[in-house]
Structure 1
Amino acid sequence: MDIYVSNLSPTVLGEDLKKQFSKFGVVSSVNVIIDKYTNRSKGFGFVTMPNDTEAEKAIQEMNGSSLDGKAITANKAKPREEKNDRSSHNNRW
Structure 2
Amino acid sequence: MPTTLWRLKVAPEKQNTFERLTTQLVQDVALNEPGSIFEYRRGIEDPLTYFLFLSFDDENAFQRYSTADYHIGASGQIIDCLAEPPIGDNLERF
TM range (shorter): 0.3 to 0.5
TM-score (ref. length: structure 2): 0.47
TM-score (ref. length: structure 1): 0.47
Which is greater in Rg? 1
Higher helix share: 2
